[in-house]
Amino acid sequence: MNKKSVFSIALSLVASAFMMVQAQPPKPPSVEERLKRVSTTVNKELALNAQQKEQLAISYKNFFVAVDELHAKQSPPPPPPANKAAVEKLAAARDEKIKAVLSAEQYNKYITLEKELRPKHKGVHPPKDDKMPPPVEANN
């Protein structure tokens, strides 16, 4: 074989290997990574006390673990969308626990922050009927 043929074969092998590596989806963040991201953002914006920080962390950790378990029950890639009703039920339970430890003002800020903290999916539009709980009226 001449040098051009060897070079062409080598280039083809490198290109195909590169394409295979790119085809692998990125590994999702761990529970701890997601918890750190949420805690950092929420704690900074809501000025939580130590008990509130702890309760918020527990609620979110339980939520992330439960959602991961839902995803684990699904078939291997490409996974179908998670059971939306089950995820909404988990989120509602998490938000009720969080609502119990926050003031009305903090909870209203939390609702806004929670929407911003949701993972962004390319090409997926948010639902028109957003099922977030309504803001809480401040008791004066």
Which segment, 12-16, 20-24, 73-77, 105-109, is predicted with the most confidence on average? 105-109
Question: Would the pTM count as exceeding 0.75?
Answer: no
Return the percentage of the chain with pLDDT > 90, whole number.
32
64 in Cβ contact with 32 (< 8 Å):
no
Q: How many angstroms separate the Cα of 37 from the Cα of each of 70, 79, 114?
A: 21, 24, 12
Chain centre to alpha carbon of residue 51: 24
With contact defined as beta carbons under 8 Å apart, do 56 and 101 qualify? yes
CA distances in angstroms from 49 to 23, 77, 131, listed in the order given: 44, 41, 28
